[in-house]
Structure 1
């Protein structure tokens, strides 16, 4: 039952993210609680711990998306550019190595993949909190690893929701790419 609640809240959370709807964060917080239980039970300790970190990141993202800049405008979708993406990926590599070492020590059932997906997810969430379009690339990479990992663990509803997440991430990348702030001046977007 907990896994199915994670499925439903996760699907709603990602859909709201695609729509750049701030309600993604409270729904995501509920999702984190459900998946914390699922992953701890499955022996995926980094994924379980990641849910705790996501709770804090969701609170930060919620605040970030609600606050206004000095001009009174809400945070807009924007590109991070090569330096931001390089920094995110640059953080993923040492985080993956460190987490793999730690997870091996605590007998995680899939230390490298658990570490890699955790590092990718943290970097993606950081980019999402600041509405950087590059978040979608990291979420897509993580989902492509999560799907077979969860299927191999027998977490079939979770693997299925990550297939859905992958589709929503592709749609999110497409949708966010159409944001006015990301288009060159004077260009229109076909309906």
Structure 2
């Protein structure tokens, strides 16, 4: 038995170490994102690799593709945050009205296209909600890379579908993890919003107001 399929049993169910470690890294990613530390991204990248291995080992091609997507977006986020930090606190801001329209359009169109793909390939027994989670996760991670407070709201919308879908699929552990994610995401949204408002009240050194040219360029 190699490390790829190594694991242990809980109540007759085999738990892969790669799956356990990958989900732990995913939870760690959210905790680190709340603190706005650059370590958010290497931890997410490591978690994506572990969950990719676990998904391939379990024959879950769709989930494996999602982990590849997360890995690529983690690289993007790592690059964006390293530019934004530069020895100072990461400036966060709400998305502009235009940015929100773009994110919603991508979410809607992407969900429809991916759902059609899942339906045609038979990769999912619930194509529409599965596609929504897939595309919503991508949109949220992209917005996170741009340090938009709205990314937390997208994660909330994803988790509200992900939790019941996981339980309905019999994936109890994943359902519990999604539930923990939801609580952490609510805390993260509250904290980022407070930090944004605090920067605005300071008047100097904070990010530009949403809708201004400086904000759009950030």
TM-score if structure 2 supplies the norm length?
A: 0.77
Q: In structure 1, what is the equivalent of residue 136 of structure 2?
A: 120
Listed as ranges, the gaps of 5+ residues in structure 1 are none
Q: Contact 2:84–2:91 (CA<8 Å) still a contact in 1?
A: no
Q: Contact 1:43–1:109 (CA<8 Å) still a contact in 2?
A: no
Offset of 1:100 from its aligned partner? 0.7
CA distance in 1, matches of 2:193, 2:111: 29
- Greater displacement, 30-39 / 117-126: 30-39
- Greater displacement, 33-42 / 133-142: 33-42
Offset of 1:51 from its aligned partner? 1.0
Q: Residues 55, 165 of structure 1: CA spacing in aligned structure 2 closer, same or farther, 3 A cutoff?
A: same
CA distance in 1, matches of 2:112, 2:84: 37
Listed as ranges, the gaps of 5+ residues in structure 2 are 1-15, 204-218
Structure label with greater radius of gyration: 2
Q: In structure 1, what is the equivalent of residue 96 of structure 2?
A: 81
Q: How do residues 91-102 of structure 1 correspond to structure 2 at under 5 angstroms? A: 91-102=106-117
- SS of 1:53's partner is helix
Q: In structure 1, what is the equivalent of residue 72 of structure 2?
A: 56
Q: In structure 2, what is the equivalent of residue 28 of structure 1?
A: 44
State the structure with bigger RCO (CA 8 A, min sep 6), 1 or 2: 1
Partner residue of 2:189 out of 173, 176, 183: 173
- SS of 1:112's partner is helix
TM-score if structure 1 supplies the norm length?
A: 0.87
Deviations 1:146-187 (A, max 9, x none): 111222222222211111111110000000011146654359
What is the CA RMSD across the aligned residues, in angstroms? 2.3
Q: Residues 34, 155 of structure 1: CA spacing in aligned structure 2 closer, same or farther, 3 A cutoff?
A: farther
Deviations 1:29-76 (A, max 9, x none): 12112333444536461x33121011111011111111258x986641
